[in-house]
Amino acid sequence: MPRSVTGDTVVMSEKHTNTSRPVKDASTVMVVRDSDRGPEVFVARRVKGMAFAAGMTVFPGGGVDDADDDPTVAWTGPGPHWWAERFRCDEARARRLVCAAARETFEECGVLLADHLDGSPVSDAGRFHSSRAELEAHRMSFSHFLASEELALAAGRLRPFDHWITPVIEPRRYDTRFFLAALPEGQEPDDQTSEVDQTMWSRPADLLADFRAGRSMILPPTWVQLHRLSEFSDVDAALASEHSISPIQPEILEHEGGVRVGFDGSDEYWADYRHARDTASK
């Protein structure tokens, strides 16, 4: 569907309520740690050549793969039934989403949310660098990697956090579950992936300030998660938070001859976007 962007408005050349595009399941993980100035979250800026969210500041994550659908994957912590209740889906889908969350986090930033079979945590994920490359190239499944290294997916290191569905105006659409995970002791994320050109740890409030100042670009779901994360005093408080998770699919609103997305807080988001645009143009 051809479209152009004027200010904060998307101008569509066809009816914008077309829902025929496929929607792919995806998982996104907010890896957090405590610092002297408060909790920090790990983010990356996607390279500008990416088909989706090019140039955006994002959390690690990506689409669910066929290989994530393996009921034999080694697993510790809350099982698929527990996750299915939180994300309001069937158990097979919940298993795929959790597997994708752990796999994508490892592929995109090197943080491995897994335990040894004796229950001890993985503290040196760097030793699995070659396997990480095989995973990213789709030459190895995550379940095969775990089995060959005598590891188990540590589902207990993840927490359910939110659920967003890409608006119908987007050419690529995702049904994304957001997870929260504390950085495992002894591990450190990196930028060793072809999908990003910059990574950083930052306080959520600072990332929001960078966006408003025009120093970065973030999509609405990321903006909402950063606002929520900024409310917690430390990582334990964030992990302990519990709330009902319902899917959010932004509305398509008529605006100045085109359309834009609307959601709870969207007026503030677009105000920040306009401020960033105006600042960058000076």
The b-or-e profile of 141-170 (16+ CB within 10 A means b, else e) is bbbbbbeebebbbbbebbbbbbbbebbbbb
Instruction: For the chain, list the domains and their CATH numbers.
Output: 3-281 (3.90.79.10)
Query: In this predicted structure, what is the pLDDT of residue 222?
Result: 96
With tokens 């993840």, the residue in question is: 158
Residue 176 reports pLDDT greater than 80? yes
Query: In this predicted structure, what is the pLDDT of residue 47?
Result: 57
What integer is the mean pLDDT of 66-85? 95
Of the listed ranges 57-71, 79-93, 160-174, 244-258, the one predicted with least confidence: 244-258
> What is the bridge-based pairing of β-strands 9-12 and 158-165?
unpaired
Residue 277 reports pLDDT greater than 90? no
Residue 5 reports pLDDT greater than 80? no
What integer is the mean pLDDT of 100-107? 97
Report yes or no: 31 and 109 within 8 Å, Cβ to Cβ. Answer: yes
Query: In this predicted structure, what is the pLDDT of residue 49?
Result: 53
Report yes or no: 183 and 42 within 8 Å, Cβ to Cβ. Answer: yes
Distance of CA 132 to the CA centre of its chain: 19
Per-residue pLDDT tens over the stretch 14-37: 444 455 678 999 999 999 999 999
pLDDT grade for 198, boundaries at 50, 70 and 90: confident
Per-residue pLDDT tens over the stretch 217-236: 899 999 999 999 999 999 99
Per-residue pLDDT tens over the stretch 86-96: 999 999 999 99
Rg, the chain, Cα only: 19
- H-state helical runs in the chain: 80-87, 91-109, 129-136, 142-148, 204-212, 220-229, 235-240, 266-281
Please, which residues bridge with residue 10 across strands? 5, 259
**Higher pLDDT among residues 100 and 170, named by residue:** 100
Output the average pLDDT for the chain. Answer: 88
Residue 111 reports pLDDT greater than 70? yes
Query: In this predicted structure, what is the pLDDT of residue 190?
Result: 87
Residue 238 reports pLDDT greater than 60? yes
Of the listed ranges 14-18, 44-48, 189-193, the one predicted with least confidence: 14-18
Please, which residues bridge with residue 170 across strands? none
| C-alpha to C-alpha distance for 160 and 89, rounded to whole angstroms | 13
Dihedral class, residue 160 (left if φ above 0, else alpha if ψ from -120 to 50, else beta): beta
Query: In this predicted structure, what is the pLDDT of residue 26?
Result: 98
Query: In this predicted structure, what is the pLDDT of residue 82?
Result: 97
Query: In this predicted structure, what is the pLDDT of residue 164?
Result: 97
Q: What does residue 162 show for φ and ψ, rounded to 5 degrees?
A: -165, 175
Closest CA relative to residue 57, chosen from 198, 182, 231, 265? 198
Per-residue pLDDT tens over the stretch 112-133: 999 999 999 998 899 999 999 9
Give the rounded percent of residues in the chain with a pLDDT score beyond 70. 87
| C-alpha to C-alpha distance for 44 and 59, rounded to whole angstroms | 6
- 266: how many CB neighbours lie within 10 A of its CB? 18
- 272: how many CB neighbours lie within 10 A of its CB? 18
With tokens 């597997």, the residue in question is: 99
